């Protein structure tokens, strides 16, 4: 597998035009949600218009706008994007730019991968979460039947363009949501990286330092994806915190109180590090450091024992499962990854007890 081009842009106008001209598209489309249409599209539109009088002129972009939030990551929205591409005259030689958070890059990537059996696309993530997770690694998809990312394909963007100046526009909740995935990357890489993340003042972040941390976090994910592009083995390391986290996220969505993905992952990390400590010897000191950090910054997922059966049932739909066994990615220590670790219903209920009572 070739390394996916990831550009940390210092000159958006130059870099976006060069990225577009890699594919020489006949038509250009930009997918945004209602928020990024207002907050981010003007910056990209201006970048695209600069230099248009020169030889590197790009096609006039057609804007496709969808509703924001994970609730819109569904078949109806997907069909609306396909329809807009079709009515806009898109061909197999057209290009779609996904300008948005993880919902936009996931859904837009899936739309591009399936329209006319696949057109080129570029991801420009506009949230910290999308920068370090959703836009990198080739996973695309939508939610289906109340389950996260149930339908999708592996398909790399032609280019991922990281415009870290956008970080200055994010609110606290979205910074924290992305930071949870960075914590995960720290846990599966090196102790010094994890310690730096736990000691960083995320409530009053130094944006220059955060930008440098984003680059290192993306490198962790890219290194793993290159070794296992289709999640047959090592790439499952990136699911740390997600078996429990997706269950929290799906339950919250079903209850009409959706939570940001990174918050669910943060809570899932606490749960799954407890399993790692009790089953695999993961250091309890590190477990409690992470638990305190998560409680201090992410609060708690409201939970009582009456929710356990539903959470367990949601975990049975996790894509890592085999032969009816719920599988987790666990750690023996920071960076010591153990994939395909099954757990019984009793183990999972004990994990939820720890989370609820700690």
Give pLDDT tens digits for 165-208.
888 888 999 999 999 999 999 999 999 999 999 999 999 999 88
What is the pLDDT, as a whole number, of residue 208? 87
Q: Does pLDDT of 224 surpass 80?
A: yes
What is the pLDDT, as a whole number, of residue 2? 64
Alpha-carbon distance 307 to 302, whole Å?
Answer: 10
3-class state of residue 51 by DSSP? coil
Give the pLDDT confidence of 230-266 residue by residue, as tens digits. 778 888 999 999 999 999 999 998 899 989 999 999 9
Q: Enumerate residues 6+ apart whose C-beta is below 8 A from 161.
A: 7, 9, 12, 15, 16, 19, 122, 123, 124
Look up tokens 């970080």; give the residue: 167
> pTM for the complete prediction?
0.87
**What's the CATH code, domain 172-357?**
1.20.1090.10
CA angle, 57 as apex, 51 and 63 as ends, to 5°?
100
6-169 folds as Rossmann fold (3.40.50)
Q: Does pLDDT of 55 surpass 80?
A: no
Measured from the Cβ of residue 173, the count of other Cβ atoms closer than 10 Å reads: 12
Residue span(s) of the chain under CATH 1.20.1090.10 come to: 172-357
Look up tokens 């609306």; give the residue: 80
Residue span(s) of the chain under CATH 3.40.50.1970 come to: 6-169
H or E stretch at 96: strand 95-100
Give the pLDDT confidence of 309-358 residue by residue, as tens digits. 999 999 998 877 876 789 999 999 999 999 999 999 999 999 999 999 98
């Amino acid at each position: 597998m070739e390394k996916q081009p990831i550009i940390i842009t210092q000159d958006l106008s130059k870099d976006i035009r060069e990225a577009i001209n890699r594919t020489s598209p006949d038509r250009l489309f930009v997918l945004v949600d209602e928020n990024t249409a207002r907050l981010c599209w003007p910056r990209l539109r201006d970048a695209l218009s600069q230099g248009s009088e020169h030889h590197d002129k790009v096609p006039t972009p057609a804007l496709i706008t969808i509703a924001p939030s994970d609730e819109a990551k569904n078949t109806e929205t997907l069909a609306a994007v396909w329809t807009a591409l079709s009515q806009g005259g898109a061909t197999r030689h057209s290009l779609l730019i996904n300008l948005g958070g993880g919902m936009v890059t996931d859904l837009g990537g899936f739309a591009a991968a399936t329209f006319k059996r696949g057109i080129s696309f570029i991801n420009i993530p506009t949230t910290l979460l999308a920068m370090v997770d959703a836009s990198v690694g080739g996973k695309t998809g939508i939610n289906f039947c109340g389950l996260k990312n149930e339908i999708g394909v592996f398909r790399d963007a032609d280019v991922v363009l990281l415009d870290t100046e956008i970080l200055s526009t994010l609110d606290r909740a979205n910074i924290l949501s992305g930071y949870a995935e960075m914590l995960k990357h720290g846990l599966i890489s090196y102790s010094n990286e994890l310690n730096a993340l736990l000691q960083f003042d995320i409530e009053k972040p130094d944006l220059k330092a955060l930008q440098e941390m984003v680059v290192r976090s993306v490198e962790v994910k890219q290194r793993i994806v290159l070794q296992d592009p289709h999640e047959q083995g090592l790439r499952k390391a990136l699911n740390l915190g997600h078996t429990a986290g997706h269950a929290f996220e799906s339950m919250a969505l079903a209850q009409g109180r959706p939570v940001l993905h990174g918050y669910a992952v943060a809570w899932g990390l606490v749960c799954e590090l407890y399993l790692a400590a009790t089953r695999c010897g993961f250091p309890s000191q590190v477990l409690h450091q992470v638990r305190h950090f998560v409680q201090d910054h992410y609060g708690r997922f409201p939970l009582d024992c009456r929710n356990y059966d539903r959470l367990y049932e949601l975990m049975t739909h996790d894509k890592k499962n085999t032969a009816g066994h719920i599988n987790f990615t666990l750690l023996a220590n920071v960076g010591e990854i153990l994939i395909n670790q099954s757990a019984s219903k009793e183990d999972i209920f004990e994990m939820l007890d720890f989370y609820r009572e700690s």
